[in-house]
Structures are given as C-alpha cells and as structure tokens.
Chain A
C-alpha cells in the first residue's frame, strides 16, 4: 500500500477570468521507504501539490490518501491529528520558532499531541543525537547556522512515528555541502521506512530521489525510469 496517493487531483484558485488551474488531474503515489522528487519551474504547481498532499489544503477535485485513509472522508480534527502524528514538513525557510531552543522546537509536535514534556524532550534529544546535533540542542535558532537550522527542522519533521515527510526546496538556501547533508538525512529517514516527497527546481537535489516526477503547468508530464545500476557509468568508453 502506498503511504501517499493522489488520484486525479486538480486544484483551481479563483473564478471567471481570474481563474488559475494550479494542478490538473495529477496522479502520484509514494511507497513506504521511497523518495520521490517533484521537479518543475516556479509556477508549475509544485508547492500546491505539497500542501494538498499534506492536507493543508483540499483539492478542488480528486482524492488524497495518506496511509490508505482518504482525507476527504476525515473530519477536521482527524485531519489535524494525522498531520501532527504522521506527516513531517520541511520548508525552505526552516519555519523554526525563534523563542524555542532546538530541542524544544523538535519536541513541540509531540507535546501538542499530548505526549508529556519529559518524554517529548527525550524523543527530541534522541533525534537530534541521531542527526549529530546534540551539542546544539539548547541553542536558539538565531544561534545556529543555516545548515544546522535545516537539520533541526528535519529532526522536527521525523520525530516520533512519522510515516510521511514532505519537503519544499529543503536545501534551497544552503551551499552544496549542507544541501548534500540534508539529502543524506532525508534518505536515511527513507531507509527506516519513511515515505518522502521533495519538490524542487534543482536537479542535483532531485537526483537523490528514487523517482523524479516532472510537473509542467500543473500537469505531470513525465517521470524518470528506474535507473540502471551506476556500475554502467564506470565502464570505459569504447574508444578509450
């Protein structure tokens, strides 16, 4: 069963001449443990796709299934609970709360979900440690570098028992070394069974994915095939 499935999803904003069709009949599925990248130019509908997949917005038409459950058949409270428990979000500008330390930011989603402060903090520390950030746990966001802030936001997205990670240009503002570190973390989460979707215009970022889906004017126009083994790159060229 796919962790995320979009079936024939369309999204229209506005009416009449001002109407914008942001997504058109999009089908997309992401299995547990796999990383899918959605590539497209700005305005292609990438971010809309992500907000709909994360139940932050409802589609105009079509159906979104998370963990086999249809979002349209869920009440608002159930959707909110599912967002807190099952879905982690990573944004380009990190979205960390400035007044909270790194570990407080990471453990906040668990506390909001009713986990005791002590247990939430323990879980938060465990994730930060796993990501090599335990020495930054008590630092506030403005005391962290850009790369560290994004790693903290990934820790927040995977804390607890999340099954779906949604990332919008997760290394957009980072240099290539930090961008690579971020992608390695997302990949490590996938190896533990998390299903992840990143939307990006950056081919280097997208190339970490198992499958790359191309979006154009709100439509899925193409996707990569399962690539052959990288060993084929190491064969000498016939003329050499």
Chain B
C-alpha cells in the first residue's frame, strides 16, 4: 500500500492534522511501518497539488495544519480499493530457485535442503502464532496482518511439501525424455525482474 493511499484512507474518516495522520498511520500498521514526518508532508503537498485533498487555508504549514478529502480524492480512493494488485507475473522466488538448484546439484540431497527451509518457515509461523495467542484477539487490524503472514508462510510450506512429494515420486519413475517446459512458461507469463 502506498503512503499516498494510506493518507487518503485516513482522511476519508474526516479532516485531520498532519501529525495526527502520521500517528494514526503508525498505530494502524501495528507500528511495523514507521513513517518519517517529512514523508507525510511531501505526500500531502502532492495530494493537494493533484486536487485530492485540501488544506485549511488559514492555518500555517506545520503539524497543526488540517487537511480534508475532496470529492476527487474520494473517487481516487474508491477506484484504488477496487483495483486488484498486479499478481499476474510470478515473482522470482528465491526459495523456488534454491530447491531447483539443489535438485540439479551433484552430491546434494534435495530433501534435506527442503527440510532446512521447512523448519525455518515453521519456526517463523510459531512466532507469529504466539503473537496471535497473546494479542491479536484484542485488535482486529493486527489479527488480520498476522493471519496474512501465517497464510503466506503456510503457502510456502505447502509448496515445499508438494515439491518434496513430487521429487520423491519422480525418483521412482523412469526418466522422461521431453524437455523441461519452464522456459516456454516463463516467456508466456513473464517473470518480474
């Protein structure tokens, strides 16, 4: 999420001061995303230039200057909320690359490599789950962030499990003669740099 749209979202609740915007932004991202106060003002100036927010004319520049959303700002926020993020091209995933390399590397047990990564991911998930156990019940926003992280890590563990099983089955089957289809796939869907 861009700082620009985060500020528009906060202003959709009503007029706010610059300092207040910064504090609320940090509080709602569980303080995991600290925001420089300069970044807030630069972004607000750009939003004002683009006609998406308006400042209270009488106030001087500074932490007490108030801002409110314009109808154009409201439209921009609504449009952004309904625009899916670009997930069409697979990212270059380091974990996938490591398993692929381990598979081809002589003298390397790919199952052992997979297990190293599986254990690390499960340990991370244990830490996130502890947070959920202690705090997340009390804060909806924080619980949503923790869930998102757990599902993301879980997807990686599931991929490792699937890869582990697929490699094991492939080892017991006769080798195939056709070429590996990855380059073709890559050309078709594109890979982000």
Contacts and interface: CB of A to CB of B under 8 A. Distances in A.
Interface string B125-165: 11111110110000000000000001101100110010011
Q: Is the interface of B mostly helix, strand, loop or mixed?
A: helix
A207 B32 contact: no
B31 interface: yes
A228 B30 contact: no
A230 B164 contact: no
Interface string B33-47: 110000000000000
A125 B150 CA distance: 35
B119 interface: yes
A224 B122 contact: yes
A187 interface: yes
B160 to A, nearest CB: 9
A42 to B, nearest CB: 9
Given A41-B165, A232-B127, A233-B128, A203 B32 contact: no
B130 A227 contact: yes
A209 interface: yes
Nearest to B30: A234
A46 to B, nearest CB: 13
Contacts of B151: 204
Nearest to A236: B34
Nearest to A203: B157
Q: Which of A41, A204, A223, A236 gathers most chain B CB within 10 Å?
A: A204
A30 interface: no
A229 to B, nearest CB: 8
Interface string A213-233: 010100001111101111011
A203 B153 contact: yes
Contacts of B115: 214, 216, 221-222
Contact of A209 (B34, B119, B126): B126
Contact of B31 (A223, A232, A234): A234
A212 B126 contact: yes
A117 B31 CA distance: 55
A230 B127 contact: yes
A4 interface: no
Nearest to A237: B32
A222 B150 CA distance: 21
A233 B126 contact: no
Contacts of B124: 233
B83 to A, nearest CB: 24
Given A41-B164, A201-B161, A236-B34, A230 B122 contact: no
Contacts of B134: 230
Contacts of B32: 234, 236
B22 interface: no
Given A214-B115, A221-B115, A207 B31 contact: no
Q: Which 6 A-B pairs have the closest CB atoms?
A: A207-B125, A203-B157, A207-B129, A230-B127, A230-B130, A230-B131
16 contacts: A187-B133, A206-B125, A214-B118, A216-B111, A224-B119, A224-B126, A225-B123, A230-B128, A230-B131, A230-B134, A232-B127, A233-B124, A234-B30, A236-B33, A240-B33, A240-B34
Interface of B: 30-34, 111, 115, 118-119, 121-131, 133-134, 150-151, 153-154, 157-158, 161, 164-165
